[in-house]
Amino acid sequence: MFGKKSKQYYAMSKEQFEEMKCFYETLGYSEKQVKALTKSCFGAEIKVAAQESYHEDWTFYRRRERENLWDGHNLFGGALGGGMRGQAKSAPGMVMDEAAPMMQSRMAMPMASAPMPMAEPVEDGVCEPMESAPLPSRPEQPNTAETHDTPENEKHSPLDASQLIFSANVNTASWGYLRNRIARHKRVDPSFVRIEEILNSYDYDLPAPPEKDLFAVSAESGACPWNEESELLLLGFKGKKADQACRQNLALLVDVSGSMEDEWVLTQMSIAAIMSKLQQGDIVSIIAYSDETTTVVKQLSCGNKDKCVEAILAIDGIGGCTNGSEGLTNAYEYLKENFDENANNRVFIFTDGDFNFGITAEGGLKKFIEDKRQTGIYLSIVGYGERNFKDNKMETMARNGNGNYTFVANPADILDNLWEKLVSNLVTVAKNVKISVELNPAYVKEYRLIGYDARILTQQEFHDTEKAVDGMGSEHNVVALIEWKRGKAEQQYKSRYVSVAAEDNSEEFAFIEVHYQSPEGENLVMTHSVTLADLKAADNRNMPAASLLASFGLMVKDSAYKGKMSGTKLLDMTSALLKQQHLDTPPRYSHLDIIRKFAVE
């Protein structure tokens, strides 16, 4: 059928090809390097095929069970014929349509000025078009995804609950997961929605801290869009900019078990993004695990992209069980043996969290990772997948192991979270960040913290310097949104020993206390008062975006506190923010794009 000159290649749509080209050009890889990486991903060279269409769907890479066929559907939005690496079959012959215009990339990435011909047209006469027989679809897999189902925070009187205490959160996994569900027009399970992660995925314009401080604390106020009887208080915390010269000593721990088969292309692209950002003097080791653990690359000095590509290509062999605890043990032990006191020592794990061998229970993983955090080695988790996605295990490990956690479903996620924000995710400026907020009962009748449902702390945990919670990285933003009602608080639950007297004559609206540790382990305290004058003088430039994201979070979570919020109101708020930002159309996969998609469904 293919003639004597035929060879294996992978058919890809023009738009899909453009997006892949944009991705690797943004990372700075050469044409030769990209050809090697993509051939490793797909088991064959890429060919642009005019007949291939762009499909709006999840970024999975599934093998089509048909003789001599690789079905390449939608690299950045659909189900591709990926399958087990090293088992590529010959693709049908498809001739590149030279006359058709190249479609513009749907991803908001800069294009290089010079073309990069990663793919070449098929020679005339080499292949014949395939018959248009329907492709057999893969059997639907059972949904075994897991997450926490935490009750929402309740309303309180400042006299009944004087201190609102919670741990900082810079994770964005919940936002990444649900935005890709919405982009595919799939139902979102409310238990996967963590509103604080939606809020903290946005790039706010918060003031930078003074040179001597690790944080800057700011406050804004505004109307509550879902409840006209309430108002909103936005508290912003921004970490200082870390020393960019900080050296990196990373162990990249790659899950190559059978459940990661469909995720390999995104995993490889994620590793390529991280390694492209590292500089000369940074050190990377690569460890792969499934049933057993294998050290793929030891102490690679970064800065040479050819060497980085060789290291990525050395990761091989998808299959087997997922002994995540053994992989983590080996990665931590490896970094412990090669610990660099003058560097950021960190394990990066790439996984769907399906630990089905070794330590598998969430409680066991929590204890395991709490012990490992005492080593001074940090943890970053990159999650993948859909139906086998174990969000609960990855979130627990990140929260208890000096870690951060993000989710990747397409190249836009990789660029946003692993490339542009790599330094902030790598370099910790403050550990164990715990925040206490006291609202003046003379002005606040009741309040409710939006999100942070699983991060509420007791006073004992707040003052316990050994209690492990999240840290903050270089220039990290953390925002908290509090819904409150104006008025004088009443004490609903009487107590013999608690005074009900309010500070009627005080100008202080709120008092904030932050407990944290320096990277060296010194226990520190920062306090900040928010006065009525501060709120009146604030320009509230971040409030429109924060209130929109909170409204969206309440809707997608189907919260009992969503009040009068509706899809129509979400669209109105989105249009208003677009005008404020002088945008006609929101970029694909952006917050405003996803909120619009959700609101019209």
Claim to verify: residue 414 and residue 442 sit in the same structural domain:
no
How far apart CA 326 and CA 318 sit, in angstroms, is: 17
**Domain for residue 219, yes or no?**
yes
Closest CA to 319 of 264, 358, 386: 264
- Same domain assignment for residues 365 and 448: no
Strand 403-407 to 378-383 pairing:
parallel
Burial of 151 (0-12, 13-18, 19+ CB in 10 A): exposed
Structure token pair of residue 172: 């964005």
How many alpha carbons lie under 13 Å from residue 256 in its C-beta half-sphere? Answer: 22
Of 430, 421, 521, 519, the residue nearest 239 (C-alpha):
430
CA 535, 541, 547 angle in degrees (round to 5)? 85
Q: Are residues 283 and 386 in the same domain?
A: yes
pLDDT at res. 136: 38
Residue 531 lies in a domain: yes
Distance CA 309, CA 315 (A): 10
What are the residue ranges of helices labelled H in 457-590? 459-463, 532-537, 543-556, 567-580
Q: Are residues 262 and 410 in the same domain?
A: yes
Hey, how many other C-beta atoms are within 10 angstroms of the C-beta on 540?
Answer: 15
Domain carrying residue 450 = 164-242+432-545
Q: How far is residue 30's CA from residue 308's CA, in Å, rounded to a whole number?
A: 12
Name the percent of the chain in helix, strand, coil, to the closest 5: 30, 20, 50
**Residue ranges with strand state E in 240-315:** 247-255, 283-289, 293-301
Task: Please check whether residues 257 and 396 belong to one and the same domain.
Answer: yes
**CA nearest neighbour of 18 among 120, 111, 82:** 111
Contacts of 159 (CB under 8 A, 6+ apart): 441, 489, 490, 491, 492, 498, 500, 502
Q: Hey, which residues does 167 pair with through a beta bridge?
A: 434
In a domain, 518, yes or no: yes
* Domain C-terminal end among 503, 525, 545: 545
Report the interhelical angle of 591-600 vs 567-580 (nearest 10°): 150
Lookup: tokens for 587: 């970029």
What pLDDT was estimated at residue 244? 66
| 3 located within any domain | no
Contacts for 431 with CB less than 8 Å, ≥ 6 apart: 402, 471, 516, 517, 518, 519, 521
Which DSSP helix (H) or strand (E) runs through 422? Answer: helix 422-426
- ∠ CA 305-259-14, nearest 5°, is 55
364 and 329 share a domain? yes
Q: Are residues 339 and 326 in the same domain?
A: yes
Buried b / exposed e along 249-280 (16+ C-beta atoms within 10 A): bbbbbbbbbbbbbbbbbbbbbbbbbbbbbbee
Whether residues 300 and 405 fall in one domain: yes
Q: Cβ(293)–Cβ(325) under 8 Å?
A: no
Q: Which amino acid is at 360?
A: T
- Among the candidates 529, 545, 561, a domain finishes at 545
DSSP assignment of 123-148, as one string? Answer: PTTT--PPP-PPPPPPPPPP---B--
| Distance separating alpha carbons of residues 15 and 105, to the nearest angstrom | 6
- How many angstroms separate the CA atoms of 409 and 183, rounded? 11
At 145 the pLDDT is: 79
- Torsion over CA: 77, 83, 87, 90 (sign): negative
How many separate helices (H) and strands (E) can be counted in the chain?
16, 19
Structural tokens at position 490: 């009443």
Predicted confidence at residue 498, as pLDDT, reads: 64
15 occurs within a structural domain: no
Report which of 232, 242, 223, 207 is spatially closest to residue 528, judged by C-alpha positions. Answer: 207
**CA-CA distance, 378 to 341, in Å (whole number)?**
13
Same domain, 326 and 401: yes
The domain total for the chain is 2
C-alpha torsion sign, points 156, 158, 162, 168: positive
Residue 326 lies in a domain: yes
- Residue 492 domain-assigned? yes
Last residue of a domain, one of 505, 529, 545: 545
Q: Alpha-carbon distance 28 to 26, whole Å?
A: 5
pLDDT at 103: 30
User: How many CA atoms lie within 13 Å of 41's alpha carbon, on the beta-carbon side?
Assistant: 29
**Residue 232: strand, helix, or coil:** strand
Verify that 219 and 259 share a domain, yes or no.
Answer: no
The verdict on 450 and 471 lying in the same domain is yes
The CA distance from 408 to 260, in Å, is 13
480 shares its domain with 376: no
Single out the residue of 546, 392, 380, 394 nearest to residue 471, CA to CA: 380
CB atoms under 10 Å from CB of 133, counted, come to 8
DSSP letter (8 states) at residue 260: G
Q: Residues in the chain with pLDDT < 70?
A: 1-8, 54-142, 244, 356-360, 496-505
C-alpha span between 475 and 424 (Å, rounded) = 6
pLDDT of residue 110: 38
Dihedral over Cα of 104, 383, 475, 478: its sign: positive
| pLDDT score at 94 | 27
- Report the CATH number that the domain containing residue 359 is assigned in CATH: 3.40.50.410
CA gyration radius, the chain: 25
